[in-house]
Structure 1
């Protein structure tokens, strides 16, 4: 069973390992009170990647290490700043299926093979506080890297790593960094040993991390491609968290899928529909598969909260037990759908198609035009669709048809919001303000939809309780509360829409 740790470290270029006179006395950094020598370790690691280095390009690494205190398989995934998540599995001859699965969004099913062997002689020191508690590890590594690709090149270097201990103040890294720099020890140019090994031991390999759209976007196509690249990257990085059932991961991935779909729909004047329409269909499929788990999650939290907030004397019968049984029955099936979708060839084909989209976007003639005119027109077009749906919904009498119309308007509001996000870099404050106001419409209509869905679930629970001879009072009471909540959101919706449809704001978007 793999376990996960958070690793926060910085690397430095070290002049030499045999003579450490260049290394400053770090007890001058508060709260470091002493530096304890922890001896020397010999580490041997083989790094795995695809032939075209898809893991390395996405700032991830997979290795099998022997030696040291953490021998085994390690998958490292990037986190913001100086941190990475390290997922560790015990030593074994074969690559653990769990780690292989966690790389799939990056490898897209391509074969993983040994690409680099890195052997290090590590001199380890612990930076301790006055009570002897560990603050950070300081590792001075003499490194030998050997390419396992078609060539047989070698590289050697020395580097210094400073890794923060669990629970230590991140500001300590900054203070140590300042002390090292003052003594002429500079940060390493490569983010990892793997990256440096590829640069020096395989000098003809393009190993650069995947950072697209580095130059400032100028045209509408530039802006749109940069936005799509960020979304595809986010989708790739969310995959491991979804597979492990991390909190909010399914919701974030589903939202990313919607953003991609919305962007491809709204900016059809920029991208060729023959390419993007099939992609939209596949994004919709995946969103639907993930939707079962996310929708159940939202509904379960809402119903549980409703029961919890009732006075005890109003909870009649085994309400909590029935709700828990309902949750278990539905959650397992929804989770299975998510994992089956992520394990399917269809999903990997979608990831391949998305990567081709951003690497070689199918731009139309309008893509070369100035972004303000093209993107504002597309954004206002989506807003006009929202206006038509909202006018229809607000003009209907209360009832199921109006509930459905409000839900359709809500989906249109999402598309406006996502189109505004894509246009924000080109249109500035006007797109940001419009997106913020449309988000308020989406929030009110979303709360309305959640209340409508909750009513259906509560009615089904009440019927099941009645069939089992249990009191139905509590379920009926909760149903009435949700009905009242839905009607209250209907009353709030016109005001939210009025702000989002303000003519002055729309003129600002246009000009």
Structure 2
């Protein structure tokens, strides 16, 4: 069936005024405060349940603390995004002061999960690429022993597996151990940073302002009678302009050799092709939040937007994983087999980047067919 929802560009559609924006912001502020309360009740301020109490109530409390943190970020992103899209209808001083603080909070709280997910992604990729029966970090000693056995067999003239597969198996175990050390350390630091942030005066100031927002939204005098749709349409236009600037013709092919040109070069800067795609991901998010405000917080199912957003999330995850593999490969004095495995892993994740771009291109350019 055709999607039935408000079109921000349709002048005949029902007018949605600043009062709807105020209601949306109050709802998000209330969700923020509820998540903060749940986070504190489940020991979030103290880092969750200790490691020795990860069963039963302790494990449940830790999981609920993680869910509460995710909900905090979700509400913070929506409030910040709405302040950006609808800023002409809000008190400018308050809005410009609030937005960067919410962005800081959301980014700080998201780092720990990002490092954890990145490590899991890379270890699973190594497992897949090496053909190991278990994850690389679980087979470090076994792989080294297998490498020694292979060398002995070679000396004795016995038949062996392909050298590249053997090198990848041994290298994958060591690469997995190296990545686990680096990303676990980064995750631990991110966890400490998040705890410090949640206990800081800066966070308490943000929480106090969100508490006020839950009951009083600082709209401009004309906002209650101003239509939100032109501002929502402007957010959609910024998205479509950014997508138009993307190399979708290249992304229309499953393989883009240009994406591997930089590879494991000494330059640690982000991949030059990734920036515009990350920007589109942020603009797509702002577009979704604007539609939520128009619909009272509930966005109608749009398969096209959902598929495009999922593809861009995969693009972000793969590009950041590739960067982590490249950074690990620059570690001084690592074994050749380890560097080889990290190089294969980097190329694999850059191919995942291209696959995600291709999926986005297919989702976005797919025509929406209306029911007869």
Mapping of residues 116-265 of structure 1, within 5 Å: 220-239=17-36, 240=39, 242-243=44-45, 244=48, 246=63, 247-265=66-84
| Per-residue CA distance 1:205-244 (angstroms, 9 max, x = gap) | xxxxxxxxxxxxx973332222222222222232315542
Mapping of residues 303-342 of structure 1, within 5 Å: 303-310=122-129, 311-312=131-132, 314-317=168-171, 318-342=174-198
Q: More strand by proportion, 1 or 2? A: 1
* Closer, same or farther: CA 485–251 of 1 in aligned 2, 3 Å: same
- Cα RMSD of the aligned pairs, angstroms, is 2.9
* Closer, same or farther: CA 248–480 of 1 in aligned 2, 3 Å: farther
How much has 1:280 moved relative to structure 2?
0.5
CA distance in 2, matches of 1:335, 1:349: 21
CA distance in 2, matches of 1:487, 1:470: 26
TM-score (structure 2 length as normaliser): 0.67
How much has 1:450 moved relative to structure 2?
1.4
Which position in structure 2 is the counterpart of 1:380? 233
- Select between 259-268 and 470-479 the one with higher mean Cα deviation: 470-479
CA distance in 2, matches of 1:353, 1:417: 24
Corresponding position: 1:343 with 2:199: yes
Contiguous gaps of at least 5 residues in structure 1: 1-217, 505-511
How much has 1:248 moved relative to structure 2?
4.6
**Alpha carbons 1:394, 1:494 under 8 Å: kept:** no
* Closer, same or farther: CA 475–286 of 1 in aligned 2, 3 Å: same
Corresponding position: 1:289 with 2:142: no
| Per-residue CA distance 1:175-226 (angstroms, 9 max, x = gap) | xxxxxxxxxxxxxxxxxxxxxxxxxxxxxxxxxxxxxxxxxxx973332222
**Alpha carbons 2:232, 2:287 under 8 Å: kept:** yes
* Closer, same or farther: CA 454–344 of 1 in aligned 2, 3 Å: same
CA distance in 2, matches of 1:368, 1:275: 18
CA distance in 2, matches of 1:396, 1:304: 32
**Alpha carbons 2:27, 2:214 under 8 Å: kept:** no
Q: Secondary structure at the match of 1:315?
A: helix
Which position in structure 2 is the counterpart of 1:359? 215
Which position in structure 2 is the counterpart of 1:393? 246
* Closer, same or farther: CA 480–406 of 1 in aligned 2, 3 Å: same
* Closer, same or farther: CA 408–396 of 1 in aligned 2, 3 Å: farther
**Alpha carbons 2:35, 2:72 under 8 Å: kept:** yes
Asked which structure has the greater RCO (Cα within 8 Å, sep 6+), the reply is 2
Which position in structure 2 is the counterpart of 1:464? 331
TM-score (structure 1 length as normaliser): 0.50
How much has 1:413 moved relative to structure 2?
0.4
Mapping of residues 55-74 of structure 1, within 5 Å: none
**Alpha carbons 1:316, 1:473 under 8 Å: kept:** no
**Alpha carbons 2:319, 2:353 under 8 Å: kept:** yes
| Per-residue CA distance 1:271-322 (angstroms, 9 max, x = gap) | 2222212110111121232232232122122112213334126431423332
| Per-residue CA distance 1:448-494 (angstroms, 9 max, x = gap) | 12111111111122232753565323222222211111111222222
Q: More helix by proportion, 1 or 2? A: 2
Which of 446, 459, 463 pairs up with 2:313? 446
Which position in structure 2 is the counterpart of 1:477? 344
**Alpha carbons 1:413, 1:442 under 8 Å: kept:** yes
How much has 1:379 moved relative to structure 2?
1.8
| Per-residue CA distance 1:86-128 (angstroms, 9 max, x = gap) | xxxxxxxxxxxxxxxxxxxxxxxxxxxxxxxxxxxxxxxxxxx
Q: Which has the larger radius of gyration?
A: 1
